Structure 1
């Protein structure tokens, strides 16, 4: 995700619309309620993978958790440092002890990671038994280089959904894909990654209307005692 070093200022001030005051709704898709509903209230450390500029930290705190962020982009972390404790690190090699955190979240980052299956294995490693993982990402069925969302009422899906590829092709120059590229994971490949990592799929949610733009997944690490 170091590719984000070159667009960190644009991402924080224009894409997120926070401006110099640091205010704004936090994300163009308004993901706070969706994230909150999936994560739920709790306490202890909540590790955010690919925390970027730390835009979701406030939502996590309001639920009672203590957020800690990890990201590969030093320039994104310059913004995040004022919002939550941060670590510069690779999501596929998390600088976190085995079975040490009760919650992990990954919000709108899985398409930025070249090997999300490896990241999911790391999530399973660092979660405590019974711990919760919340994934919120672009909806694999309706978002990608194969999808034209210029008309929100009639998304056009072209061939290419099943290919699973990295691309900079985008229907808009106001987003991220044309700037840093994105990896596409068809729905079966994405969900199989959770299962292969040993995580138990528990809940799902979609966000955006009329055609969903995001998919949310809640998974847990099995309790060894149970």
Structure 2
């Protein structure tokens, strides 16, 4: 994605360093759990989640469309430049797939879920960790750390660059929003069966995580 190529250095050198704790790592560890074999990360970006995956015993492999982001990921995990809607992976071939804070960057995320279902072995695990659809979006003002203001707009399901901060990604690239039922129904439509959920963040959750099985 050319837009991510343009911000890759900023993302690696400024955006990530400004976050003392990655908001999705705890949920990833909780829902992925210990295992072995390949764990494929779709939309791996700069590869910052590879270490957590390795600590759980998995072998991380990443795919992303942005060559700029992959330039930073190269030293962290094996990578391939590929479209998440057409993964260069055989059917029923991997034991785990993760998607970390990327679903709002992928307008065709529901097609990505179908690809995830295709490449997972029967019984394989998929962990989705994404910004919380109910409390994060163009409709949510998080400028006051003690009180999130949620305005009308949650039900719209739209792409927007509206943001409460100019230090994030949405104001630079935009983000796609789906209300919670649409997002969860897309898992079912893809043939993925959710079996565990988690939230994290304060004062209202920043992250919603879903574990599903093929």
TM value normalised by structure 1: 0.92
Aligned match for 1:44, one of 37, 50, 68: 37
Flag as ranges the 4+ runs of structure 1 deviating above 6 A.
none
Kindly state the Cα deviation for residue 25 of structure 1 after the two structures are TM-superposed: 4.9
Residue equivalent to 2:16: 16
Matched, 1:97 2:90: yes
**Distance of 1:172 and 1:7 partners within structure 2:** 16
Kindly report the root-mean-square deviation, in angstroms, between the aligned alpha carbons of the 2 structures. Answer: 1.2
Alignment map for 1:33-112 (pairs within 5 Å): 33-112=26-105
SS at match of 2:211: strand
Q: Deviations over 1:38-84 (max 9, x none)?
A: 10000000000100000000000000000000000001000101000
Alignment match, 2:123: 130
The unaligned stretches of length 5 or more in structure 1 are: 19-23, 222-226
Report SS of the residue matched to 1:83.
coil
Number of equivalenced pairs: 214
SS at match of 1:134: strand
Residue 152 (structure 1) aligns with: 145
SS at match of 2:167: coil
Matches of 2:165 and 2:98, distance apart in 1: 27
TM-score by length of 2: 0.97
CA distance in 2, matches of 1:25, 1:91: 29
Q: Take 2:118 and 2:139, find their aligned partners in 1: how far apart are those partners?
A: 33
Tell me, yes or no, if structure 1 residue 118 matches structure 2 residue 118: no
Pairwise CA distance, 1:26: 6.5
Q: Offset at 1:153?
A: 1.9
What secondary structure, in the 3-state scheme, does the structure 2 residue paired with 1:203 have?
Answer: strand
> Structure with the greater relative contact order (CA < 8 A, sep ≥ 6): 1 or 2?
2
Mapped partners of 1:128, 1:7: distance in 2: 35
Match of 1:209 in 2: 202
Aligned 8 A contact 1:26 1:56 in 2: no
SS of the aligned residue for 1:59 comes to: helix
